[in-house]
Amino acid sequence: MPLVVCAIPNVQNYTATSSLSVAFLVAGGTCVPTSLPQLALNPLVIIVVSLFMSTSEYNLTSGLCSFPPSGILTDVVLDWFDRYEDHFEKRAISHAQDADFHLTLGSSLHVEPACLYASSEHYRREDAPLVIVNYQKTRLDGEATVVLHCDVNKICTKLVKRLNVQVPPFIRSFVMVGLQYSHRGSNKVILRFPCIMSIAINEEYSVSGKVSHRCLNMTQGMHEFVFTGDFEAVLKLWFDAEMVLKVRYRHDCSLNGLVWRVSLAATDGVYNRRNNTPIVHVFDGDVGDITVARLTLSYNANMISMSDACSLTAVLGSGKHAIQDFEPRTLPESMSILCGYFCGINSSGDGTFESLVDVKEDADWLEKFDTVDHMDLLPEVIRLCMGLGLHRKLGNVCRNQFCIDLEALKNARNGSNEVGNNFSPCNIRLQCAAKHVFGELVDRVPPELRICLPRRIKPIAASRVNSFNPLDALFCSMLRDSIGAILERRVRFSSEMALVQRFKSDFPKWVVCYLADLFECR
């Protein structure tokens, strides 16, 4: 039967032909004879340890989300006594029960319940041997058939050779997302690529003043370009790589985006083996207004083919034209709704939605939030949304928590649409490369959605019996009502204007983060 790897924290996945079914528990995330930085090709420890971290102001979404500003966010690093999401936990238990042999590598086996997968008192069969490789003692040493206090890398080297596992070269790839839209007579591009070290605008364009650039978030590699003509930018990247981007200006630019898979380095697993000979790849981009013109690789570039170096993965736009070898993918309904709101607001120019309304807040209902735990940790757009929900009696504060009135929210959600036909849902579509394989959880979002807020804020106590995401519905309702109030000149609270303005500023960043997380999800 096949070699099986137990899906528990930091598990390295390998598959080979064997007469045994084996469960591995690995700490440190490496099962090859080399150090972790060499294996992962990370020149430094990245502070984002999970693909689904929600610690950044701009990273409001995940590949597991209903569209922003809410949804399921999960972290692959378990804290003490934290359980996996149901999907992972059930799979881990199943593999642990089926395994004929258990091998734990570099784990102290102290974090519950993950450490229980290898225990015969819980999931390991009595006839399935357990071998532990770790420098320190572990809580399961008494159950183990063999305990080895030695270097994990040496054991991995011997194990891979004995099983005759051929480890292919590892190519370190990243997702790059570019979103373009009209902005006050100019075009704006939001670029998200975490590998960017510096950006230089071609002197021809920077001198003429046709383009301006600023970094929005260095950790995420979020950059903004505002321009009134075509321009070219040179990106210095990790691993001594360099990319040249060309961007075209369009007078009437609708919201559109592109997603690329970019490979910057490779390794064959041999420690400190590196070929520094640069290889230049030149591309002819014929899709979209943002194109990768040239990519220079230097870190074992000889192991990376041109097709792997840079490939277009997805196209986001309102056009009906089908792209060859691309397949349409359904987007969350709320994305279409919010996109319609954004396009309507954005096309209004410097008129209705740009002017501030001199309205003072009602301090009485604002003071109610003073007792809500961790309120200051929430993004501003969520605080504004919850405040307006409280004013409209769609929620209340109870025991230091904000709770949504689900019945009142449903009635408000099904009420008349005050925004009108000018803000109808946008006909935007996402086309993905047919060869792209999405992460297994992308299409397995359960009908009951957890809200990703600090632990003591529970705005959706009864959400598990409902078919919609309450905070998502609350946000769409409050945004719709605020837009309607501004259009009809009946704004009562400055929060209504602030919510619309904040939404206009943040929505493109939400879309970029959503696309990045969607294609990074594994």
Task: Judge whether 239 and 43 are in contact, CB under 8 Å.
Answer: yes
pLDDT in tens, 151-169: 888 888 888 889 888 878 8
pLDDT in tens, 407-441: 888 888 776 555 655 566 677 899 999 988 887 66
What number is the average pLDDT over the span 288-299? Answer: 94
- Would you say residue 244 has pLDDT above 90? yes
Percent of the chain with pLDDT over 90: 32
pLDDT in tens, 180-194: 999 888 999 999 999
How far apart are alpha carbons 345 and 351 in whole angstroms?
A: 10
- Would you say residue 314 has pLDDT above 80? yes
What number is the average pLDDT over the span 55-77? Answer: 42
pLDDT number for residue 179: 97
pLDDT number for residue 209: 63
pLDDT in tens, 218-243: 888 999 999 999 999 999 999 999 99
User: Which residue stretches of 1-99 are H helix?
Assistant: 36-40, 86-98
pLDDT in tens, 383-397: 888 888 888 888 777
- Would you say residue 519 has pLDDT above 90? no
Give domain limits for the chain: 22-39+76-162, 170-317, 337-511
Token code pair at residue 237: 């990247």
To which H or E segment does residue 409 belong? helix 406-413
Going by the DSSP 8-state scheme, the letter that residue 66 receives in this structure is S
Within 8 A by CB and 6+ apart from 267, the residues are 34, 38, 39, 41, 169, 170, 172, 273, 300, 303
Q: Which of 157, 133, 126, 160 lies closest to 25 in space, CA to CA?
A: 133
Provide the CA 358 distance to its chain's centre, in angstroms. Answer: 38
Name the CA radius of gyration of the chain, rounded: 26
Strands 211-217 and 401-404, sheet pairing = unpaired
- Would you say residue 11 has pLDDT above 50? no
User: Which residue stretches of 277-391 are H helix?
Assistant: 306-309, 333-346, 363-366, 380-391
Biggest CA-to-CA distance, the chain: 76
H and E: helices and strands count for the chain: 11, 19
pLDDT in tens, 193-219: 999 999 999 877 665 668 999 999 888
Q: Which of 135, 160, 139, 159 lies closest to 149 in space, CA to CA?
A: 135
Partner residues linked to 396 by β-bridges: 403
Q: Is the N-terminal amide bond of 332 cis, ω within 30° of 0?
A: no
Strand order from edge to edge, sheet including 231-237:
196-201, 231-237, 242-247, 290-297, 279-282
Dihedral of alpha carbons 495, 500, 504, 508, sign: positive
How far apart are alpha carbons 8 and 95 in whole angstroms?
A: 10
Output the CA–CA distances (angstroms, integers) from residue 9 to 5, 89, 109, 116, 431, in the order listed: 11, 10, 11, 12, 33
Enter the pTM of the model: 0.76
Phi, psi of 320 (to 5 degrees): -95, -5
User: Which residue stretches of 170-217 are H helix?
Assistant: 203-208
How far apart are alpha carbons 225 and 410 in whole angstroms?
A: 40
Q: Which of 170, 358, 329, 167 lies closest to 259 in space, CA to CA?
A: 329
What number is the average pLDDT over the span 458-463? Answer: 37
How far apart are alpha carbons 81 and 96 in whole angstroms?
A: 19
pLDDT number for residue 360: 56
- Would you say residue 517 has pLDDT above 70? yes
Strand order from edge to edge, sheet including 101-105:
22-26, 101-105, 130-133, 146-148
How far apart are alpha carbons 105 and 85 in whole angstroms?
A: 23
**Residue 445 CB-half CA count within 13 A:** 23
What number is the average pLDDT over the span 254-266? Answer: 94
What number is the average pLDDT over the span 30-58? Answer: 32
pLDDT higher for 489 or 9? 489
pLDDT number for residue 363: 52
In whole numbers, what is the pLDDT of the chain averaged over residues?
Answer: 75
Within 8 A by CB and 6+ apart from 30, the residues are 12, 36, 39, 152, 153, 156
**Other residues' Cβ atoms within 10 Å of the Cβ of residue 137:** 13
The DSSP secondary structure of 429-456, one letter per residue, reads EEEEETT----TTTT---SS----S-TT
The CATH architecture to which 22-39+76-162 belongs is 3-Layer(aba) Sandwich (3.40)
pLDDT number for residue 220: 84
Percent of the chain with pLDDT over 70: 68
pLDDT number for residue 397: 77
Q: Which of 66, 64, 82, 87 lies closest to 74 in space, CA to CA?
A: 64
To which H or E segment does residue 402 belong? strand 401-404
To which H or E segment does residue 189 belong? strand 186-192
- Would you say residue 24 has pLDDT above 80? no
Within 8 A by CB and 6+ apart from 84, the residues are 8, 78, 92, 114
Within 8 A by CB and 6+ apart from 504, the residues are 342, 345, 346, 353
pLDDT number for residue 277: 95
- Would you say residue 8 has pLDDT above 70? no
Q: Which of 233, 289, 314 lies closest to 511 in space, CA to CA?
A: 314
Q: For the ranges 8-12, 150-154, 267-271, 446-450, which has the lowest average pLDDT? A: 8-12
Burial of 466 per CB tally in 10 Å (0-12, 13-18, 19+): middle
Confidence of residue 307 (pLDDT cuts 50, 70, 90): very high
